[in-house]
Structure 1
């Protein structure tokens, strides 16, 4: 698995790693050369002359300069990994089908593109540091072989015994690290519930007690146990190799002579302990990073298996030409592949939605309203049947461009800071903020909304509405938007905004339980159990729904 991580890094940032590794090798070689030069001068037992001082200064300067260059290159490697890996993951996420992203979950996706990317980036400096120390070990072994071929051979033989022992133990540490990361994901989910559910916990001491003892304590204990085992296994792995090496040094020590070369050999052997220990530590650290890399690999496989087809120019059902209607023809959708066998099934649904219409979508919870909205917007793909734009099917090649005619305000929508459009639109954004009474709470600067976090649900909804209006798309979908608004904002939404959008030729879809403004709609479509139970003009809506027995 570590080979896969190293191969991945070499493919991701080959140039920066090559530069950093080259500097590391030069640093190691010059350091050992300096070591050898000092001992050679000591053996001469003569006063230092000016050429000796110049040679020493040159070697020392080269060693320090190459180390600094390696350190700087290592930092650049880490930054390059963060940039390219995060961009790669974001691109993969954006290309993945929306339903698959829902299954993965926002928590895991956020962890991967934030904390996990940072962790993987640490592997690059670790790798460069490992190259530095391995180059130092190799250079010292060459020097020691020149001093005492027999002693160097004994040390290499011991390494051939110690390395397999090390890998046997470090493999267990890597597996435990991966299990610990999985346990952390489960714990992090529970901790998120602690913050999100504070009101419920404060209102129930029984629930709080069980939540702390059974959920948090249990998963926290599991995580800490696995992390302790992984750390202990890593510590054992680091010391196994060193124990074998020290054993060999001890054996050679009691068989040495007083020859100057033997003294140099043992000094070199003692100095070897530092880079050898650091190299072993690098392997152990890479093992921990591997656990995170495995999670990213697992996610990458999932994303790749659910990647949407790239749109091709000229084949879009949403070309820049006037369109008249969107049609559902026998559209069905099932959650069966990603849920229980008896999961909710949508359809078959036949429906025609025309430009310039205001259509209210009604129905109880679980009736299919949200599934319909996601299908209409192209976020879900029909299991069977077809969605057509002016008679042209919306398929994998055209769906991405088809989505561009929609502006959707779902209940869980995110309020982005950047104002849609370009900087010249900032004046219009300020006007809309004032029109919807949030200009005192949200300001604009450099084509961005400011203070977007500290907002009530109603204020956030109005900010999202301003952003949607700035996009000026052909189709608007409002998912229970007015539910969190005060009476004034609701009236402004239903009686002013919706008619204005209709006059502009927009298709307006409103998912709502509110029946106070039904007269604003051109049609009311009611869903029940995943199917259309009624579809009628709004003016006769209440009477028709009563006759249909669905109210």
Structure 2
């Protein structure tokens, strides 16, 4: 049972303790039936012993106590397990390589962190009540065997057939719900795509209609799969009721004509069968919900397995050594990167790149879209690992795999597809005054202020938001600043001031600047200009 394994593996809760509590609860529940039957038999004789009343009360208290304790511990254990898994997966995501996250891509791969969590959180009750009901059914069956072996034989045949059918339905439901979960992820992926590309589809009715048809198809397919599964749940409940009503028919109307049965035993047999209906109903209701939970757990572990298979950082130490911090040159030596599909088959290769950068240098890189500039920057900054080792060099020495986390700490980066977080994380010894000073320098002081770790206003134009990202990069005070087409969204006046005043000021402060730029009118301000063409650096212009 994946749910029970999930709870016990991810928390300190004892699987044996939960099972023992549920077992005691189930046994106590069954004993209530025996005591009631004994009391009913004595009532026919005119009186009921006080001893039976005390036994009933004590058994009832034991039943309530163990059931409440087991359910409470199970609910807490499930929530603790989900908390642990969420934190673990978040940690593995942040330690994954950039290419791994790029290949996972859309948000649908991460829906198990939300959808699965909700399903699993609600599953503890189904697990315990299902297990407890099975025990009640077992002990009630043994009690029925003692009362009437023939009724027990008939009951076992019907119950066995019912359970076999329920198990078969469980397997079908598991497959259908897994497929429904996959299609649901695709739906959210397409929906997210629609929101990101809203401007385009708003201007094109055909494109809008095509995306909507795809969303509709995915929603319909998901609905059909879930509807079949839920309809099967109702059928299972109906099947359980049919089995017991058929059992009552046989015991009351047929068996007495075939096998002599004492009248008092017949009433006790009927009471026992009626008592057994509830646990079978509970089990038949729990199976589909446990099936959904198993699908959710499988999705969580599948996501984790995907992250584990990827090459993650071999070291978590990001302390910059004096050797790295005081570098004189760094660059790439015959570095290349091969893009692969999900099966690991190569698609195309960028590079090999040959480049050395001097400390304090201002270097511009130009080239057409798709020429390999972004791949080059990701290799240079250590966000991509090169195909072969010993291709990233610092002061002529090869960078080792374990050095990558610390090496990346040398760079502040503003990519063309930058993301502006809702607050500035990880800043050390940076005052609000310094950031607000940069806001004034970048003509943003009238738009926003920096207070309590965040900008007061970020609903700005793309160019203005990119300036905020630039500030977030600059105030990290790292030795290298990498800018990927930063000036592309800026107005001409600011663009001129950016190239002629801001970048030279940063270089004068000792910052090494590597900028992708197409503004050839400012190329003379750079120490070197490199040109990228079809994944190759073609040389430089002084």
Q: Deviations over 1:349-401 (max 9, x none)?
A: 11001221221121110111100111112121112361112233234322222
* 1:251 matched residue in structure 2: 250
| Structure 1, gaps ≥5 residues long | 538-551
Comparing 313-322 with 183-192, greater Cα deviation is found at 313-322
**Counterparts of 1:451 and 1:289 in 2: how far apart (Å)?**
42
**Pick aligned residue for 1:329 from 326, 333, 357:** 333
Task: Flag the 1:428–1:273 CA change in 2: closer, same or farther, 3 A.
Answer: farther
Kindly indicate whether the alpha-carbon contact (under 8 Å) linking 1:308 and 1:396 is maintained by their aligned counterparts in 2: no
1:269 lines up with 2:273 in the alignment:
yes
* 1:543 matched residue in structure 2: none
Q: Deviations over 1:186-234 (max 9, x none)?
A: 2222222332233222322333333334x23333333333333333344
**Counterparts of 1:285 and 1:303 in 2: how far apart (Å)?**
28
* 1:15 matched residue in structure 2: 13
1:473 lines up with 2:478 in the alignment:
yes
**Pick aligned residue for 1:393 from 390, 393, 398:** 398
* 1:36 matched residue in structure 2: 34
Alignment of 1:85-124 (within 5 A): 85-124=85-124
Per the TM alignment, residue 433 of structure 1 is displaced from its structure 2 partner at its CA by: 6.3
Task: Flag the 1:197–1:313 CA change in 2: closer, same or farther, 3 A.
Answer: closer
Per the TM alignment, residue 157 of structure 1 is displaced from its structure 2 partner at its CA by: 3.9
Per the TM alignment, residue 51 of structure 1 is displaced from its structure 2 partner at its CA by: 6.3
**Counterparts of 1:396 and 1:515 in 2: how far apart (Å)?**
37
Kindly indicate whether the alpha-carbon contact (under 8 Å) linking 1:359 and 1:522 is maintained by their aligned counterparts in 2: yes
Partner of 1:335: helix, strand, or coil? strand
Per the TM alignment, residue 183 of structure 1 is displaced from its structure 2 partner at its CA by: 2.0
**Counterparts of 1:74 and 1:439 in 2: how far apart (Å)?**
55
Task: Flag the 1:114–1:504 CA change in 2: closer, same or farther, 3 A.
Answer: farther
Kindly indicate whether the alpha-carbon contact (under 8 Å) linking 1:166 and 1:241 is maintained by their aligned counterparts in 2: no
Per the TM alignment, residue 277 of structure 1 is displaced from its structure 2 partner at its CA by: 1.7
Comparing 49-58 with 136-145, greater Cα deviation is found at 49-58
Task: Flag the 1:297–1:82 CA change in 2: closer, same or farther, 3 A.
Answer: closer
* 2:504 matched residue in structure 1: 499
TM-score normalized by the length of structure 1: 0.85
**Counterparts of 1:492 and 1:265 in 2: how far apart (Å)?**
94
Task: Flag the 1:134–1:392 CA change in 2: closer, same or farther, 3 A.
Answer: farther
1:411 lines up with 2:411 in the alignment:
no
Comparing 62-71 with 40-49, greater Cα deviation is found at 40-49
* 1:363 matched residue in structure 2: 367
**Counterparts of 1:41 and 1:442 in 2: how far apart (Å)?**
79
Partner of 1:100: helix, strand, or coil? helix
**Counterparts of 2:228 and 2:262 in 1: how far apart (Å)?**
46
Partner of 1:398: helix, strand, or coil? helix
* 1:188 matched residue in structure 2: 188
**Counterparts of 2:146 and 2:448 in 1: how far apart (Å)?**
76
Comparing 174-183 with 143-152, greater Cα deviation is found at 143-152
**Pick aligned residue for 1:286 from 274, 290, 298:** 290
Kindly indicate whether the alpha-carbon contact (under 8 Å) linking 2:427 and 2:476 is maintained by their aligned counterparts in 1: no
Comparing 489-498 with 464-473, greater Cα deviation is found at 489-498
Kindly indicate whether the alpha-carbon contact (under 8 Å) linking 1:361 and 1:509 is maintained by their aligned counterparts in 2: yes
Kindly indicate whether the alpha-carbon contact (under 8 Å) linking 2:74 and 2:125 is maintained by their aligned counterparts in 1: yes
**Counterparts of 2:51 and 2:460 in 1: how far apart (Å)?**
73
Kindly indicate whether the alpha-carbon contact (under 8 Å) linking 2:18 and 2:70 is maintained by their aligned counterparts in 1: yes
Kindly indicate whether the alpha-carbon contact (under 8 Å) linking 1:85 and 1:117 is maintained by their aligned counterparts in 2: no
Per the TM alignment, residue 160 of structure 1 is displaced from its structure 2 partner at its CA by: 3.1
**Counterparts of 1:229 and 1:180 in 2: how far apart (Å)?**
11
Comparing 182-191 with 366-375, greater Cα deviation is found at 182-191
Q: Deviations over 1:401-431 (max 9, x none)?
A: 2222222222333333343346864534653
Number of residue equivalences: 532
Per the TM alignment, residue 534 of structure 1 is displaced from its structure 2 partner at its CA by: 2.7
Task: Flag the 1:402–1:27 CA change in 2: closer, same or farther, 3 A.
Answer: same
Partner of 1:535: helix, strand, or coil? strand
Kindly indicate whether the alpha-carbon contact (under 8 Å) linking 1:17 and 1:74 is maintained by their aligned counterparts in 2: no
Per the TM alignment, residue 328 of structure 1 is displaced from its structure 2 partner at its CA by: 0.8
Kindly indicate whether the alpha-carbon contact (under 8 Å) linking 2:120 and 2:293 is maintained by their aligned counterparts in 1: yes
Partner of 1:349: helix, strand, or coil? strand
**Counterparts of 1:427 and 1:281 in 2: how far apart (Å)?**
58
**Pick aligned residue for 2:353 from 330, 349, 357:** 349
Alignment of 1:365-384 (within 5 A): 365-384=369-388
Q: Deviations over 1:226-269 (max 9, x none)?
A: 33333334444555455444433432232354633432332232
Alignment of 1:214-253 (within 5 A): 215-240=214-239, 242-253=241-252
**Pick aligned residue for 1:525 from 524, 530, 533:** 530
Alignment of 1:81-160 (within 5 A): 81-160=81-160
Per the TM alignment, residue 25 of structure 1 is displaced from its structure 2 partner at its CA by: 3.1
**Counterparts of 1:459 and 1:146 in 2: how far apart (Å)?**
82
Q: Deviations over 1:60-115 (max 9, x none)?
A: 33333333323322321221121111122223323333212211213134313332
Comparing 427-436 with 113-122, greater Cα deviation is found at 427-436
